[in-house]
């Protein structure tokens, strides 16, 4: 496929219609339609199916799109890197953050970064596993900062440990579970879990098993930290939470820590990049600023060591 065809495929998939894709690319709709037909003709495959609401990818188109996104992202990164090596303030750094990273790491790291790159765009998104990793693999995200992914989710990704965050158990301040002292007393409570059952949010099961209790089944899961905290506050539900954010949490929410005696293994917070694909100079500088900020946190004893 030609570069033009790759850009056409990605734009149509992102915008859901030929008209919107043509507008985004600054091209005419007939011209874009012709480019799509050329791409499908060269491949000998149909990439899209036209519907009353626009277009949708075929099964083959879905598979090709993943590779097209990677190629398209690499072209953009190459252009950015060349410009930055010439000393130009051009391009963007895309970073996906966990709440802990957003509150404790990024503000200071961004301040450091702006001293070297005052005019580079920095774009932050939030995400939980496994959804946070796919844009990284496709090159749409440069850096992910969050809990270490399970080994099965870490393919094609460099995972660099930054710090350990203590994990606590929280509930609403007026919950009957507020004064529980043992994890066993929480077995019948309503638990809310962040992310998928096989991800970092599943950490709450381990202390039950290690202490001889049957772990509860979290029937409620949330892809949103704020959504989960809202359920905890409103329903008196229970969830695990990064201990480093408790003070910030209590400023805005009627939430309290449950002082259980059983320890919960600290969570490894990591910096993740795409394996085999070097960062642009700007993205690499941002990664260095993240490491610098974490080093200052450790010296201030804000994080725990194992």
- Whichever domain contains 61, its CATH number is 1.10.10.10
Indicate the residue among 33, 59, 81 that finishes a domain.
Answer: 81
Q: How many whole angstroms separate alpha carbon 69 and alpha carbon 48?
A: 16
Q: How many whole angstroms separate alpha carbon 185 and alpha carbon 164?
A: 27
Q: How many whole angstroms separate alpha carbon 286 and alpha carbon 279?
A: 10
- Does 116 share its domain with 143? yes
- Does 202 share its domain with 239? yes
For residue 305, pLDDT over 70 is answered with no
Higher local confidence (pLDDT), 144 or 204: 144
Task: Tell me what pLDDT residue 197 has.
Answer: 59
Please compute the mean of the pLDDT values over residues 242-252 and round it to a whole number: 87
The answer to whether 128 and 177 have CB atoms below 8 angstroms apart is no
- Does 126 share its domain with 67? no
- Does 273 share its domain with 242? no
Task: Tell me what pLDDT residue 201 has.
Answer: 56
Please compute the mean of the pLDDT values over residues 278-297 and round it to a whole number: 94
Q: Where residue 306 falls among pLDDT bands split at 50, 70, 90?
A: very low
The pairing of beta strand 255-257 with beta strand 239-242: unpaired
Q: What is the mean pLDDT of the chain?
A: 85
Q: Where residue 196 falls among pLDDT bands split at 50, 70, 90?
A: low
For residue 6, pLDDT over 60 is answered with yes
Q: Where residue 257 falls among pLDDT bands split at 50, 70, 90?
A: very high
278 Cβ neighbours under 8 A, 6+ residues apart: 284
Q: What domain range includes position 70? A: 3-81
Q: Where residue 120 falls among pLDDT bands split at 50, 70, 90?
A: very high
Task: Tell me what pLDDT residue 294 has.
Answer: 94
For residue 138, pLDDT over 90 is answered with no
For residue 303, pLDDT over 60 is answered with no
Please compute the mean of the pLDDT values over residues 206-231 and round it to a whole number: 81
- Does 128 share its domain with 260? no
Q: What is the CATH number of the domain that holds 279?
A: 3.40.190.10
| Whole-prediction pTM | 0.76
DSSP code, position 166: -
Number of domains the chain contains: 3
Cα 267 to Cα 162, 166, 189, 212, 306, distances in angstroms: 11, 6, 23, 22, 10
- Does 155 share its domain with 276? yes
**Residues facing 293 on adjacent strands:** none
What are the tens digits of pLDDT across the range 26-77?
888 888 888 888 888 888 888 888 887 778 888 888 888 888 888 887 888 7
The answer to whether 153 and 83 have CB atoms below 8 angstroms apart is no
For residue 304, being part of any structural domain is answered with no
For residue 200, pLDDT over 70 is answered with no
The answer to whether 129 and 146 have CB atoms below 8 angstroms apart is yes
The answer to whether 140 and 110 have CB atoms below 8 angstroms apart is no
What are the tens digits of pLDDT across the range 77-114?
788 888 878 888 788 899 999 888 999 999 999 999 99
Please compute the mean of the pLDDT values over residues 216-235 and round it to a whole number: 84
- Does 251 share its domain with 190? yes
The answer to whether 173 and 256 have CB atoms below 8 angstroms apart is yes
- Does 53 share its domain with 75? yes
- Does 160 share its domain with 279? yes
For residue 176, pLDDT over 70 is answered with yes
- Does 283 share its domain with 137? yes
Task: Report the run of H or E that residue 112 belongs to, with start and end.
Answer: helix 106-114
DSSP code, position 115: T
Q: How many whole angstroms separate alpha carbon 162 and alpha carbon 153?
A: 18
């Amino acid at each position: 496929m030609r570069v033009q065809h790759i850009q056409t495929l990605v734009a149509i998939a992102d915008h859901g219609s030929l008209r919107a894709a043509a507008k985004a690319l600054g091209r005419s709709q007939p011209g874009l339609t012709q480019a799509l037909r050329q791409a499908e003709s060269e491949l000998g495959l149909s990439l899209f199916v036209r519907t009353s609401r626009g277009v949708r990818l075929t099964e083959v188109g879905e598979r090709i799109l993943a590779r097209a996104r990677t190629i398209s992202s690499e072209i953009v990164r190459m252009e950015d890197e060349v410009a930055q090596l010439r000393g130009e303030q051009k391009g963007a750094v895309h970073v996906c953050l966990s709440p802990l990273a957003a509150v404790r790491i990024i503000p200071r790291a961004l301040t450091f970064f702006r001293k070297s790159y005052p005019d580079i765009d920095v774009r932050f998104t939030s995400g939980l596993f496994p959804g946070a990793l796919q844009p990284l693999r496709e090159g749409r995200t440069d850096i992910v900062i969050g809990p270490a992914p399970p080994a099965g989710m870490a393919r094609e990704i460099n995972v660099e440990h930054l710090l350990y965050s203590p994990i606590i158990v929280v509930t609403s301040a007026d919950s009957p579970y507020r004064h529980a002292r043992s994890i066993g007393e929480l077995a019948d409570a309503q638990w809310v879990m962040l992310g998928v059952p096989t991800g970092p949010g599943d950490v709450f099961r381990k202390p039950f098993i290690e202490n001889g209790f049957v772990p509860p089944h979290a029937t409620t899961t949330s892809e949103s930290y704020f959504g989960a905290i809202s359920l905890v506050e409103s329903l008196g539900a229970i969830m695990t939470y990064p201990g480093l954010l408790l003070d910030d949490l209590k400023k805005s929410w009627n939430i309290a820590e449950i002082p259980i005696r059983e320890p919960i293994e600290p969570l490894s917070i990591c910096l993740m990049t795409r394996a085999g694909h070097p960062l642009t100079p700007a993205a690499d500088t941002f990664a260095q600023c993240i490491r610098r900020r974490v080093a200052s946190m450790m010296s201030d004893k804000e994080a725990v060591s194992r």
